[in-house]
Amino acid sequence: MGAFLGCVLALCLGVIGFIRTWQGKPPLPARVVTSRRKVVDHQQLAKSVTIALAAGVVVGVLTRWPVAAAMAVAVVALWPKIARSGAIEKTSVAWLEALANWTESLRDAAAAESGLAQALPATVDGAPMLLRRPLRNLVNAIELRTPMPVALADFAAEINHRAADKVVIALVQTFEQQSGSLKRVLTTLALDTRAELELRRKVLSERNGVRRQSNQVVLAILGLALVQAVFLRSWVSPYSTVAGQGVLALIAIAFLGLLWRLQQLAAPEPQPRFLAGVEALMETTTERTSS
């Protein structure tokens, strides 16, 4: 029994090392960390590895199939990546909602102030939590006499969202033209951002339903296979042979490939940014002004 557990543990470690190498990471996590963020990442990685190994050992003991143990490790290790597409899209929608609310707040502040530099500080305290730090940095940069295009470009870079680029481009264009149309521009931006937000929410809701159904199907298949392997051994006895384990390995590889493909299909479409710094911002605003 001890030799079997040792083989299962070694196989599980090999699967984790293969997965990390496939992802472009070293097979083993670095032991030296130099920042709080790296410490947190190291702790999360250690927790994930521990859970994956525990799942592999449990499945290996219950089924007495090394391939099943390795598959359990792979599924547990890959599951965060398989399920992360929903979290990525949800975070993007949260940023879009924060930008929509802040644009509306800036529009209202612009009606009471004389210009953009005066209206921006008035929106910091009531801004959504996601935007408070970038907004404070923006206001501090303006107070330190940083040129408005530079400060806004840094603001957009800190947020790193396509909707923020669109807002910043319009603000810089309005600021440089000094046309007095700030409120009108912000009203248009607020309406456009709110419309995009409603559309993205609808898409997210539909995709979440598909993701839930897909996850339920995957878990049902894995649960059924585990129940058969533990309680209905006579049904799956051919897999207990060496040849059967080979066939099971092929099935496991195909199953994991389908899971990975499902994650790619469920991932949100890439949203490339408009801006890549102050130079891109000035070029974009110049092109829009000349057109």
Average of per-residue pLDDT across 66-70: 89
For residue 5, which amino acid is it? Answer: L
Q: Are 124 and 132 in contact (CB under 8 A)?
A: yes
| pLDDT of residue 138 exceeding 90 | yes
Q: Are 162 and 273 in contact (CB under 8 A)?
A: yes
Residue 92 lies in a domain: yes
The larger pLDDT score, comparing residue 275 to residue 25, is at 275
pTM: 0.65
Phi, psi values for residue 120, rounded to 5°: -60, -50
| pLDDT of residue 13 exceeding 60 | no
pLDDT 10s digits, 214-266: 888 888 888 888 888 888 888 888 888 889 889 989 998 998 888 778 777 77
Position 2 scores a pLDDT of 46
Residue 260 lies in a domain: yes
Average of per-residue pLDDT across 128-153: 90
Residue 78 lies in a domain: no
* 3-class DSSP state of 205: helix
Domain of residue 282: give its range: 84-291
Position 276 scores a pLDDT of 64
| pLDDT of residue 12 exceeding 50 | yes
Quick one: pLDDT band at residue 131, thresholds 50, 70, 90? very high
Q: Tokens 């802040």 map to which residue?
A: 102
Residue 279 lies in a domain: yes
Helix 66-112 to helix 36-63 angle, to the nearest 10 degrees?
150
Residue 220 lies in a domain: yes
Task: Determine the Cα–Cα distance for residues 11 and 26; give it in Å rounded to an integer.
Answer: 18
Helix 278-290 to helix 162-177 angle, to the nearest 10 degrees?
60
Work out the percent of the chain whose per-residue pLDDT is above 70: 75
Residue 36 lies in a domain: no
pLDDT 10s digits, 257-266: 887 787 777 7
| pLDDT of residue 7 exceeding 60 | no
| Number of domains, the chain | 1
Q: Tokens 């000094």 map to which residue?
A: 178
Residue 12 lies in a domain: no
Residue 39 lies in a domain: no
| pLDDT of residue 136 exceeding 90 | yes
